[in-house]
Structures are given as structure tokens and as C-alpha cells.
């Protein structure tokens, strides 16, 4: 891949896709190709074929997906399975037909069995039952990994897959109904501070351990893998460190400047006690994250404040 290569980022307006786009721009790539969902519905096979014919991308990042939390997965299992399969089938199959030089498919840590040992190693894939709450999404993602592997084996396509850990960063979703834990904490503490509330109640015991990676680091890892990795084995992308939700909440409280109390509600579910990826395969290639959690959370809070000030009053 060089700075004149034609690079398509599918889902370039999403959290991951926009970070990959920014990273490519930062590295001087001049021929970036993007389409919004309105411009190109990636579940539409003939439209995707026409897009490949017209744009002739040489490199493809697959960061488009129907993404959502437990509730959305439970309410729309058919869409989560069908739309994700359709999006990735069209992009991956289309890339083979169009002679794309290299493709990177993005999955997620939910592909691993619910009771897999921690930290999660790549070889634990398909060694046990999935977490039922998001199995529709996970099954589609596993099919995407297998698609890349099958096209590599049968047709020699240089298609690779990366499995990122929990991500956060600019452009995150702060809707309390659908957001992930870190943006939800940022919003809760900020609202408590501005309303002068004496306490913030957080779900569960606060004891579960989770890993977080700043979106710009994930994007840098994706570009690094596109340039340095060409194996059939998919690869984990994490920060290598986890933190308890209790510690995380304490850090967010301090960054936001909320002086009230944190109350834990143990009647709410905790989820898996620990979720940490083993990213040693990636680190052994020479890549390391640059943004530590404290710095990343400060940047995320600044982004949150910026978007609040732009929101219609």
C-alpha cells in the first residue's frame, strides 16, 4: 500500500471507520474512497458490484456493520444475522471479483466462547458455545473470518481479519440506552456534575474487569496490519491491560470533575467477570498502543463536550 493506492473504507462514518479514515489521511494517503449508507447500501449486491466496477479500490477496510448492544440483538436477531452476513458477503466476494490486492475484515471479541479462558487467545475460536445475548452478531462475524480464510485458501486472496477489544474515542455513541460502558459513564458523571446531583448510581458491583482501546490506536493497528500482516489466522487487537469498572468509574469521575458519591447497584447484572484479549501476536510484530486510558478518556471527554456545545439547544 502506498500513498497513491486506492483505499476503500467501508463504514467510514462509523466509530472505527472514521478513525481508520483519519489515520490514513494522517499518513498521507491521497486516494481514499468512502460511501455513506445512503449513497451505497452494502446489503444490495448489484449496487456493491457497480461500486467496485466504478471505483476499482486496491485495498479495502471492512468497518461497516450493523452494530448494537444486547437489547438490539435480542429485538432484531434476524437483522443482526442477515444484514451483517449480506454486508460482508457483498464486500468480500466483490473484492475477490474485482481483484482487490488486500482486504482487512473487522470482527469483535464477542466471537469467542462465553466461557473461554482469559486472556482470550486466537486459538479459542469455536471451542465452546457463544454468549447467547449476541450470538447472532457473533455468528455473522465468525462467518466473515471464515470467508476471508476460504478465499485465501481457494483463490490466494490476501484477505485478513482483526478482532478489536472494546473501543472508545471521538464520535462515540453517548445514548444511555445503547452506549457502551465508558461513554455511558462520561455522560452520567457529566450530567450529575452539571445538575449538582449528590450521587451517581452505576450498574452492578463494579468488580468486572474490562479492556479498552482508544479508537485512533485501533485505526493505527489496522493500517499497520494492512502493511505488515498476511496470515490466514485472524489477529487480536487490544491494549493488553484491563481495569475494573470501579476503577474506571473513579477515573471518569475525576476527569469530569464530579465531586459526589458513586453508588453501586448490585441488583443489576455484572456480565462476564473478566474480558481481556491476548494481543501478544500483534505486539510481537512490533505494534504497540500509544494512548493510555487516562489520556484517551480526557480526549473522549473533550470530544463529548464539543459535541454537546454543537447540539441543537
Binding segment (CB under 6 A) for ligand NAP, from list 11-19, 23-31, 253-261, 296-304: 11-19
Would you count residue 167 as binding ligand NAP (CB under 6 A)? yes
Would you count residue 293 as binding ligand NAP (CB under 6 A)? no
Would you count residue 11 as binding ligand NAP (CB under 6 A)? yes
Q: Do you know the residue count of the chain? A: 313
User: How many positions of this chain bind ligand NAP (CB under 6 A)?
Assistant: 24
Would you count residue 262 as binding ligand NAP (CB under 6 A)? no
Instruction: Indicate the residue among 73 and 166 with the shorter CB distance to ligand NAP.
Output: 166
Euclidean distance between CA atoms 24 and 31, whole angstroms: 10
Euclidean distance between CA atoms 88 and 8, whole angstroms: 14
Do residues 265 and 203 lie in contact, with contact meaning Cβ atoms separated by under 8 Å?
yes
Q: At residue 236, what are phi and psi to the nearest 5 degrees?
A: -75, 145
Binding segment (CB under 6 A) for ligand NAP, from list 10-18, 150-158, 244-252, 294-302: 10-18
Return contacts of 257-262, CB within 8 angstroms, 24+ apart.
257/193, 258/189, 258/190, 258/192, 258/193, 258/200, 259/193, 260/192, 260/197, 260/198, 260/199, 260/200, 261/198, 261/199, 261/200, 262/199, 262/200, 262/202, 262/206
Neighbour count for residue 307 (Cβ, 10 Å): 13
Euclidean distance between CA atoms 69 and 167, whole angstroms: 14
Beta strands in the chain (DSSP E): 6-10, 31-33, 59-62, 102-106, 159-164, 166-168, 199-203, 209-214, 235-237, 242-244, 261-265, 274-275
Q: Which of 6, 7, 43, 276 binds ligand NAP (CB under 6 A)?
A: 43
Would you count residue 6 as binding ligand NAP (CB under 6 A)? no
Would you count residue 296 as binding ligand NAP (CB under 6 A)? no
Angle, CA 291 vertex, CA 288 and CA 294 arms, to 5°: 135
- Whether 52 sits among the annotated catalytic residues: the reply is no
Q: Which of 30, 37, 199, 290 binds ligand NAP (CB under 6 A)?
A: 37
* Cis, peptide link before residue 119, omega less than 30° from 0: yes
Would you count residue 14 as binding ligand NAP (CB under 6 A)? yes
Binding segment (CB under 6 A) for ligand NAP, from list 8-16, 203-211, 240-248, 266-274: 8-16
Would you count residue 149 as binding ligand NAP (CB under 6 A)? no
Would you count residue 13 as binding ligand NAP (CB under 6 A)? yes
Quote the least distance from Cβ 68 to ligand NAP, whole Å. Answer: 8
Would you count residue 63 as binding ligand NAP (CB under 6 A)? yes
Quote the least distance from Cβ 101 to ligand NAP, whole Å. Answer: 21
Binding mask 203-242 for ligand NAP (x = CB under 6 A): ----------------------------------------
Q: Which of 6, 7, 9, 15 binds ligand NAP (CB under 6 A)?
A: 15
Binding mask 176-195 for ligand NAP (x = CB under 6 A): ----x---------------
Which residues are CB-contacts of 191 (< 8 A; sequence separation ≥ 6)? 197
With 0-12 / 13-18 / 19 or more C-beta atoms within 10 angstroms meaning exposed / middle / buried, residue 70 is: middle
Binding segment (CB under 6 A) for ligand NAP, from list 60-68, 125-133, 185-193, 299-307: 60-68
Catalytic residues: 137
Residues that bind ligand NAP (CB under 6 A): 11, 13-17, 37, 40-43, 63-67, 83, 87, 106, 108, 164, 166-167, 180
Amino acid at each position: 500500500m502506498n500513498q497513491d493506492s486506492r483505499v476503500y473504507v467501508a463504514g467510514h462514518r462509523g466509530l472505527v471507520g472514521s478513525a481508520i479514515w483519519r489515520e490514513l489521511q494522517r499518513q498521507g494517503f491521497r486516494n481514499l474512497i468512502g460511501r455513506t449508507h445512503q449513497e451505497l447500501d452494502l446489503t444490495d449486491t448489484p449496487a456493491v458490484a457497480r461500486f467496485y466496477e466504478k471505483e476499482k479500490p486496491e485495498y479495502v477496510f471492512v468497518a461497516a456493520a450493523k452494530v448494537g448492544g444486547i437489547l438490539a440483538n435480542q429485538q432484531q436477531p434476524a437483522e443482526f444475522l442477515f444484514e451483517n452476513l449480506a454486508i460482508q458477503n457483498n464486500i468480500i466476494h466483490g473484492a475477490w471479483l474485482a481483484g482487490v490486492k488486500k482486504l482487512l475484515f473487522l470482527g469483535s471479541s464477542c466471537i469467542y466462547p462465553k466461557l473461554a479462558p482469559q486472556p482470550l487467545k486466537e486459538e479459542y475460536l469455536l471451542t465452546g458455545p457463544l454468549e447467547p445475548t449476541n450470538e447472532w452478531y457473533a455468528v455473522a462475524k465468525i462467518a466473515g473470518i471464515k470467508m476471508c480464510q476460504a478465499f485465501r485458501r481457494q483463490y490466494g486472496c490476501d484477505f485478513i481479519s482483526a478482532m478489536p477489544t472494546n473501543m472508545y474515542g471521538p464520535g462515540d455513541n453517548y445514548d444511555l440506552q445503547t452506549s457502551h460502558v465508558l461513554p455511558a459513564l462520561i455522560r452520567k458523571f457529566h450530567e450529575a456534575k452539571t445538575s449538582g446531583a449528590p450521587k451517581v448510581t452505576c450498574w452492578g458491583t463494579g468488580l468486572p474487569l474490562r479492556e479498552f482501546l482508544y479508537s485512533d490506536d485501533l485505526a493505527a493497528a489496522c493500517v499497520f496490519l494492512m502493511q505488515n500482516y498476511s496470515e490466514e489466522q485472524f489477529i487480536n487487537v487490544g491494549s493488553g491491560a484491563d481495569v475494573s469498572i470501579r476503577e474506571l468509574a473513579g477515573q471518569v469521575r475525576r476527569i469530569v470533575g464530579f465531586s459526589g458519591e458513586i453508588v453501586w447497584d448490585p441488583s443489576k447484572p455484572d456480565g462476564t467477570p473478566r474480558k481481556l484479549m491476548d494481543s501478544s501476536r500483534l505486539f510481537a510484530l512490533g505494534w504497540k498502543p500509544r494512548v493510555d486510558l487516562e489520556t484517551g478518556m480526557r480526549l473522549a471527554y473533550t470530544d463529548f463536550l464539543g459535541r454537546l456545545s454543537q447540539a441543537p439547544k
